[in-house]
Structure 1
Amino acid sequence: MSYERFSTENAALLLIDHQVGTMRWVKSIPFEEMKRNALMLAKAASILQLPVVLTSSMEEYAQGPLLSELEQILPKEFAARIKRLGIVNAMDDDNFAKAVQATGRKKLIIAGVTNDVCTVYPALSLVRDGYEVQVVADAGGSPSAMADDIALRRMDKGGVTLTSTNQLIAELAGSWATPQGGQLVQVLMTALQG
């Protein structure tokens, strides 16, 4: 099977449950690193004008609201976020599934919190439904290193491509010499210095 790279023309980004409460449950990666990576993805999507679907689960409860920075980076997408009422697999939520289909893209980038619950099921469902899926492992995490490892292995076995934030942004950029590539380098450099 030949690999066609994920690009501005063919990919969409799904950010699942980057909520202040939920993110505090993650112990497999430092909170600030996970947050930085998720926001880098949002900034990259904004620069590249990728379709983005945001979703949250039970914001009024312990999970809390989505990161406020997401509203600053992606205001339109934040306003249109899909608020799930406890549905574990976001693809089982009709509104989310319709929003994913509405992107018109068959290559999907997913980052979610937590990898072992909120990311694994929609990623596997989307592969089953014929999508090409990359999960950005370091823009999410799990309550333990073991839980994260098992979730990543399960996704890998299920046909999901695992990637990292820097790797994915480089793939989407294609070239640092373009105007968008130059902006993406700034996103990466700022994050690395921070």
Structure 2
Amino acid sequence: MTFQRFTGENAALLLIDHQVGTMGWVTSTTFEEMKRNALILAKAAKILKLPTVLTSSMEDAAQGPLLSELETILPSEFAARIQRVGIVNAMDDEQFASAVQATGRKRLILAGVTNDVCTVYPALSLVSQGYEVQVVADAGGSPTKMADDIALRRMERAGVTLTTTNQLVAELAGSWSTPEGGQLVEVLMG
């Protein structure tokens, strides 16, 4: 199998449930690390003009609102976010599934909180529907280290490519010497 790089021209970004309450349930990594990486992905998407879909679940409940910085970075995507009413697998929500399809991209970058619930099921669904999926493991986390490990292993066994924020941004950049590459370096170093 030949390696074909994800780029700004062929990929889309899905950010699932980066909500302050849900992120507070994670112990497999720190809140700040998850937040930093999710915001780097959002900034990279803006620089590269990646189609981006944001979703949340039950913002008025314990899950809480999406990170407010996402509204600053991606205002139109934030306004168009899919607000699910407790549907665990975002791909089971017709509005979210339609928004993913509307990106027109078959290569999807996925990050969510928590990896063991909010990320694993849409990732498995998307792979089964023929999408090429990279899950950015360090832009999410789980309530325990074991839960995170098991979820990542399950996704990988199903054909999901696991990656990290730095690794993915480098792949998207392709070269740091382009105007976009230079901006991406600044985002990573920021």
Q: What TM-score, normalized to structure 2?
A: 0.99
What SS class does the counterpart of residue 108 from structure 2 fall into?
strand
- Structure 1 equivalent of residue 151 of structure 2: 151
Letter in structure 1 aligned against 2:106 = K
What SS class does the counterpart of residue 127 from structure 2 fall into?
helix
Cα displacement string for residues 164-194 of structure 1 (whole angstroms, at most 9, x for unaligned residues): 000000000000000000000000111xxxx
Cα displacement string for residues 17-54 of structure 1 (whole angstroms, at most 9, x for unaligned residues): 00000000000001101100000000000010000000
Q: Distance in 2 between matches of 1:24 and 1:30?
A: 9
Cα displacement string for residues 60-96 of structure 1 (whole angstroms, at most 9, x for unaligned residues): 0000000000000000000000000000000000000
- Between the aligned residues of both structures, percent identity stands at 81
What SS class does the counterpart of residue 123 from structure 1 fall into?
helix
Letter in structure 1 aligned against 2:19 = Q
Q: Distance in 1 between matches of 2:35 and 2:82?
A: 20
Unaligned runs of 5+ in 1: none
Letter in structure 2 aligned against 1:158 = A
Q: CA RMSD in A?
A: 0.4
Letter in structure 1 aligned against 2:81 = R
Q: Distance in 1 between matches of 2:165 and 2:26?
A: 17
Q: Distance in 1 between matches of 2:48 and 2:9?
A: 9
Q: Distance in 2 between matches of 1:145 and 1:90?
A: 23
Letter in structure 1 aligned against 2:109 = I
- Structure 2 equivalent of residue 26 of structure 1: 26
- Structure 2 equivalent of residue 189 of structure 1: 189
Letter in structure 1 aligned against 2:157 = K
Q: What TM-score, normalized to structure 1?
A: 0.97
What SS class does the counterpart of residue 118 from structure 2 fall into?
helix
Would you say how many aligned residue pairs link Structure 1 and Structure 2?
Answer: 190
Letter in structure 2 aligned against 1:80 = A
Unaligned runs of 5+ in 2: none
Q: Distance in 2 between matches of 1:72 and 1:169?
A: 20
